[in-house]
Amino acid sequence: MTAVAGNLAVDDAQPAKATARPMLLNLTALRAFAALAIFVHHLTELGIDASRSIRDMYLGCAVSFFFVLSGFVLAYSFSGRFFGWHDIRNFIFQRFFRLWPVHVLCFFLALVARHPPTSLFTAYLAATLQGSWFPTYGTAYAYNGVSWSISVELFFYLALPFIVILRPNQVMLVVCCWTVAVLGLIALTATLPGPVFPPPSEKPWLDLYVTDASLVHLFPPVRMVEFLSGIAIYRLFSSRRISNDWVTFCQVAAVVCLMLWACVHAEITQFIADHASLMASVAYREFGLYPLFAAIVYVFAHQSGSLTRVLSCRVLVFCGEISFAFYMIHQVVIHVLAYNFEIRQHCGPTVAAISAGMLSLGFSIVLHRAVETPGMDWARQKFPMTRRAPLSAHVGVGAVA
């Protein structure tokens, strides 16, 4: 292999068709459960407070699972596939158009249905998926509130190629240093006499300035620790596997541990708020469970075990495939039913929630088939990546000197 300082280097091997990696169907199915948790979390507009009903579980932290899973799946799918700047550029375009078509349609639907406060600045950030890059709730939550997370995802996509082209030990060094830096800075706030940034207003979702909560909740470099943990889990998965005899036990144990930890999540969050800092408590509330999410991704990445067979059924896999569209449209549907039709007053919270779920599911199927899938197919054809066989299962051909 040749290497040029500061540039991607490509070996002299002849192009070869890359070996397709097995589909991780059970991980796709888990996306459906995470999307459902977020849907239930947002039912407060329809009079159902799931956090109070389900042992004070904060279901909004399911977004953290998506970030961890994204790191794992992208590392699994694209390690060894970056052979030059052409591949990096096309990967970013592919991933952008993975998100943007559904996002921009939901953006306009939210604009029409919700009539939110509008400015050229927030509209530009929302349309270009940069809302969370300015970590204020007023920019990130503008229009379709859930789009803040795909703004964070876009940041991850920009960073991924420059991480996975590194050698495995260098990747783990990046993961460790970044995690220590972020968590260390958050822990440091506990020693300060007051908040770092100004406190939020009475309507924080309209704030156009950074607060302690908005920084750790929304800022992509902070949330990067979850994405990097997924990449680290991929490295572990590549080198060490669980024996088939123990896979089911490990999967059950991971789920049980997650449920037990989730049951005390609210108490731990409050304890940190009382004894540390607002920034630390919000950080824990939003992504404090990510180590367990990483463990779940690792054990379920094994394509064996009883739970894997259950999750790999076609219905659950299909629900996972449409989960992105479901995630993007559900809050618009809930808001329209709650405020435009006042369905809660007419039919009650239960009927309102079921109606929101059914409508969100129906719209997500249409969006997936008519917008998301054609957009991905077009992007792959328009921005193809090089197809070459990697030198090994763990190390790509390209390297940064």
Contacts of 347 (CB under 8 A, 6+ apart): 355
Task: Using alpha carbons, select from 124, 289, 149 the residue that is nearest to residue 219.
Answer: 149
pTM: 0.90
pLDDT value, residue 78 = 93
Task: Using alpha carbons, select from 196, 175, 200 the residue that is nearest to residue 187.
Answer: 196
Task: Using alpha carbons, select from 358, 350, 352, 349 the residue that is nearest to residue 337.
Answer: 352
pLDDT value, residue 27 = 94
pLDDT value, residue 270 = 92
Q: Which residue has the tokens 């094994």?
A: 302
Q: Are 296 and 255 in contact (CB under 8 A)?
A: yes
pLDDT value, residue 7 = 37
pLDDT beneath 50, residues of the chain: 1-19, 389-401
pLDDT value, residue 387 = 72
SS (H, E, C) the chain: CCCCCCCECCCCCCCCCCCCCCCCHHHHHHHHHHHHHHHHHHHHHHCCCHHHHCCCCCHHHHHHHHHHHHHHHHHHHHCCCCCCHHHHHHHHHHHHHHHHHHHHHHHHHHHHHHCCCCCHHHHHHHHCCCHHHCCCHHHHCCCCCCHHHHHHHHHHHHHHHHHHCCCHHHHHHHHHHHHHHHHHHHHHHHHCCCCCCCCCCCCHHHCCCCCHHHHHHHCHHHHHHHHHHHHHHHHHHHHCCCCHHHHHHHHHHHHHHHHHHHHCHHHHHHHHHHHCCHHHHHHHHHHCCHHHHHHHHHHHHCCCCHHHHHHCCHHHHHHHHCHHHHHHHHHHHHHHHHHHCCHHHHHCHHHHHHHHHHHHHHHHHHHHHHHHHHHHHHHHHHCCCCCCCCCCCCCCCCCEC
